[in-house]
Amino acid sequence: MKKKKEPHPLLKGGKSRGDCSSYSHGFSSSQIQSLSAICQVLIPPLHPLDDDDDNANNIQDLPNMAYYNSFCNSSGPDEVAELLVKRGSPKAVFIVSLVLKLLSSRLGTLLLCGFTCLDWKWPFVHKFAELSLKKRESILQRWCRETFLLPLRIVFVQLKVICFFVFFSLIDENLCNPAWEAIGYQVEVIESPTKTEEKPLEKGLIDITNKNDSSLKESLIQKGLFVAEDTNDGTYKIKCDVVIVGSGCGGGVAAAILAKSGQKVIVLEKGHYFVPEDYSGLEGPSMSELYESGGMLTTQDGKVMMLAGSTVGGGSSINWSACIRTPDYVLKDWSTKYKIPLYSSHEYQSAMDAVCDRIGVTENCAEEGFQNQILRKGCENLGLKAEPVPRNSSTDHYCGSCCYGCRRGEKKGTDSTWLVDAVNNGAVIISGCRAESVILMNGHNGDVRKRCIGVIATPENKNIRKKLHIEAQVTVSACGTLMTPPLLISSGLENKNIGENLHLHPVSFVWGYFPESLVELKGKCFEGGILTSLHKVQSEESDNTQAIVEAAVLGPASFSALCPWVSRRNMNDTMIKYARTAVLFALCKDQGSGEVKKRGYIKYRLSELDKENLKTGLRRALRILISAGAEEVGTFRSDGQRIRCKGTKDEDLEEFMDNVTAVGGPRSRSEYWTIYCSAHQMGSCRMGANEEDGAVDENGECWEVKSLFVCDGSVLPTAIGVNPMVTIQATAYCISTRLAQYLKKGRFL
């Protein structure tokens, strides 16, 4: 007998609370009134608009109109404010709060909005909420283009992104959003057997979420760990051989290899553990629970939005399944220019083989989804090559929501492969626990290098007052490119390469609308395998790849948040076409770099070559969409750059292409801007031949601290130009295999 899946409560979300007293955002009622007035302008009603937009709110006979009115005039602004305070930077929240406060007064509105708020009748000067929709729209359009008073543009961007994300991700008690019907979106219903088997990691997992001090201690002891309570400093002292911070592509592999070699391994993970039947496929709660900062972490200038995993399995639990081996030219570069022999060795090639075998990489795809059909068809019509993308799933895996966790259980992330191996060999995984610092002590016998003897971790559960003091022979930081440097720096490490050399594989999007009449292209943008084909844009002057073009998965909340807002009418038209809008992106192997030295504070700059390569990639992606039969195409540039394809003269099309460039971010002083994305972060603790060139050596050990290893994407010397999962896992395989051999020889005793 089959039953409908009931997702995990954390991934289920819920409808708007409606009770103002339950919100903790701290905004006043007058600020919320101003925010409500902004929501009414930004959010489209999702029906054909009349000339008089002010009358749009009065149309009640459409299913989504009750939701639209309720959202804009009741609970929505509070939900937006709540998410803004939770996910926004303190500086951005302060600016938004100040602007909303000014807009709630007549004088403040005059200062920020100018003559638009003036009237010949009393009271002559109107507050923002008192202005007509058309006047409010013209003000927001001006803020979007603002080049002098950049804080107004930042306020526009913040509110636009969060308003749309909340509007299209908020769900009711039936796990549905009334706006989805109007845009042709639905979450796929997946059934599962009535009887559920034991969770693969259950026997080795300690989930701190529902523990208290006494039950946590008991659970640790039951897992075979030595635990002593220190009442003086309020800690549990735990002993093991190896402690690993992070459970993603690096940490998962390291845990498996080291546990199999006979070491007692503890894995710390700040996120939660979920299995396929827990996943909901719901964009809002899934992003909140499975992604770092709910998927809303950006660089300090707001230019690049980061997508990084924050759950047991890390990025491997929510990535797009691509399993591409490290390109030969990259391996040659790392082994010669960066003097790291590992990458030219048979050892590394064997590691890639072992990784691909363990995660079940398949080369073929039985049926491609809507967007990958378009990518392949467009390339074929242009005489270009579209390459298949190997995936860690079956050939007939047809799942468009793996970015919210694979509900079919076919994607082989570390949570269903390497971590299972680790647990089967006695490893213990502690979820819901954040590493605070590594523990350092002075070296022995005059050794100037310090030695790492473990980790201090803090449970995320406030019911647990004691910290965990985990002592280990070896400590491995595998918490990712964005989190490893802050952990090491806050612990006292000073190597200049820690937190530098950050590469992001910056991504910029284009879109193409394909009406239902194109029957040969079946499906919708959210159906089918996310990434099954790619196209490499080769340089005309050399064999170098300037960019790669791939299909993107953007749920309605993410799509609307990133999509340019030009006007209420334009956004209305865009979202109604969402289901048949294909989104492709251009990704470049970035030469520019950034830094991340404090948690949540990321700086990054594109090089001129990066901008040129992205421009070339965007233009190629647009031509692919046009060749595949798109009725209209466009970029994600702030002015809504687009062109209708049917009947357009070639010279007009070429003029459009000439104007497609890689523009700056929201804080640039140019009129046009965009938001880039990054799902591949690398290099912030790179390997180097010496401590001048890198943060760690070829074995992954920190140059300045003994027994402290880094085993994640941060050790990669440069960007690699393709999806990095196999590269990270193969590197981790080599590091942990060598480490296991050293431990057997007693090197760290």
User: Residue 636 — φ and ψ, nearest 5°?
Assistant: -100, 25
Cβ-Cβ contacts under 8 Å for 559 (sequence gap 6 or more): 578, 581, 583
CB atoms inside a 10 Å sphere around CB 230:
12
Cα–Cα distance for residue pair 239/454, rounded to 1 Å: 9
Alpha-carbon distances of 370 from 377, 378, 507, 508, rounded to whole Å = 11, 12, 21, 20
DSSP string, 300-346: TTS-EEE--B-STTGGGGTS--B--PPPHHHHHHHHHTS--GGGGSH
- Find out whether 88 is annotated in a ligand binding site: no
- Asked if residues 386 and 376 have their Cβ atoms less than 8 Å apart, the reply is yes
- Find out whether 182 is annotated in a ligand binding site: no
Cα–Cα distance for residue pair 487/489, rounded to 1 Å: 6
- Find out whether 80 is annotated in a ligand binding site: no
- Asked if residues 466 and 456 have their Cβ atoms less than 8 Å apart, the reply is no
- Find out whether 240 is annotated in a ligand binding site: yes
- Find out whether 190 is annotated in a ligand binding site: no
CB atoms inside a 10 Å sphere around CB 229:
12
- Asked if residues 183 and 579 have their Cβ atoms less than 8 Å apart, the reply is yes
Cα–Cα distance for residue pair 103/98, rounded to 1 Å: 9
- Find out whether 247 is annotated in a ligand binding site: yes
Alpha-carbon distances of 685 from 439, 644, 719, rounded to whole Å = 19, 46, 12
DSSP 395: T
Buried b (16+ CB within 10 A) or exposed e, 157-180: bbbbbbbbbbbbbbbeeebebbbb
**Exposed / middle / buried, residue 394 (Cβ in 10 Å: 0-12, 13-18, 19+):** middle
CA torsion angle 419 423 428 434 (round to 10): 10
Cα–Cα distance for residue pair 331/333, rounded to 1 Å: 5
Q: What angle do CA 54, 58, 60 make, to 5 degrees?
A: 145
Catalytic residue among 469, 503, 535, 680: 680
Q: Residue 321's closest CA among 249, 418, 380, 387?
A: 249
- Find out whether 624 is annotated in a ligand binding site: no
- Asked if residues 715 and 334 have their Cβ atoms less than 8 Å apart, the reply is no
DSSP 449: S
- Asked if residues 504 and 678 have their Cβ atoms less than 8 Å apart, the reply is yes
680 is catalytic: yes
- Find out whether 243 is annotated in a ligand binding site: yes
- Find out whether 696 is annotated in a ligand binding site: no
- Find out whether 715 is annotated in a ligand binding site: no
- Find out whether 302 is annotated in a ligand binding site: no
- Asked if residues 711 and 478 have their Cβ atoms less than 8 Å apart, the reply is yes
- Find out whether 242 is annotated in a ligand binding site: yes
Q: Residue 530's closest CA among 477, 576, 584?
A: 584
Alpha helix segments (H runs only) across 453-512:
484-490
3-class SS of residue 20: helix
- Find out whether 214 is annotated in a ligand binding site: no
- Find out whether 472 is annotated in a ligand binding site: no
Cα–Cα distance for residue pair 194/528, rounded to 1 Å: 26
DSSP 56: G
- Find out whether 241 is annotated in a ligand binding site: yes
- Find out whether 248 is annotated in a ligand binding site: yes
Tokens 């191996």 locate to 421
Cα–Cα distance for residue pair 243/250, rounded to 1 Å: 13
Q: Residues comprising the binding site? A: 240-255
Q: Residues comprising the binding site for FAD? A: 240-255
**Catalytic site positions:** 680
